[in-house]
Amino acid sequence: EHRACNMLANLIHFVYILSLVCWIGSIVFFSFFTAPVIFKLLDREKAGEVVGVIFPRYYFLGYVCAALTLSSLLISAQSFFGAKQILLAIMIAGWFYAGLVVGPKSRNLKALRKATGSTEKQALLEVRFKRLHSLAVKLNGTALLAGLGLLWLSAEGLKL
């Protein structure tokens, strides 16, 4: 029975580390490799379309990783409320807000900008889009930093 409990604990820890690292890795890979290459190779409009296709998958991966990280942390943590939980809450809040609020607003602004014939209105929509994009970048960075902090705390006592 002790061995079975140990195996279950190891599985929960494995799911926690795997989901956290996949989430952080996706942020690093998209932010520092994928997006810069896409925007370097394609014109801004086309690059925006490509990234627009990637975003739903990018955020979905984060949602799955968030659910797995949260559930495995809640199952295995000694305390319900600590530094790890706070960092994970920051990650989740930033990620879900960026994916479920900022993303749809950005898509709507891009569609409105394309649909309008008025140069003046396009410029106004562009300013609003840039503001939203800046917020999305900050939320992404916050999720990354909180995730790295969480990973650092999780490495404490790790046996290799």
DSSP string, 77-107: -S-SSSHHHHHHHHHHHHHHHIIIIIHHHHH
Q: Is the pLDDT of residue 80 over 80?
A: no
Nearest to 52 by CA among 87, 2, 103, 92: 103
Cα 1–chain centre separation: 38
pLDDT given at position 62: 98
Alpha-carbon gap, residue 132 to 65, rounded angstroms? 24
Q: Which helix (H) or strand (E) holds 138?
A: helix 119-155
- N- to C-terminal Cα distance for the chain? 25
| DSSP, res 58 | H
**Model confidence at 158, in pLDDT bands (50, 70, 90)?**
confident
| Per-residue buried b or exposed e for 95-104, using 16+ beta carbons within 10 Å of the residue's own CB | bbbbbeebbe
* pTM, to two decimals: 0.90
**What's the pLDDT at 67?**
98
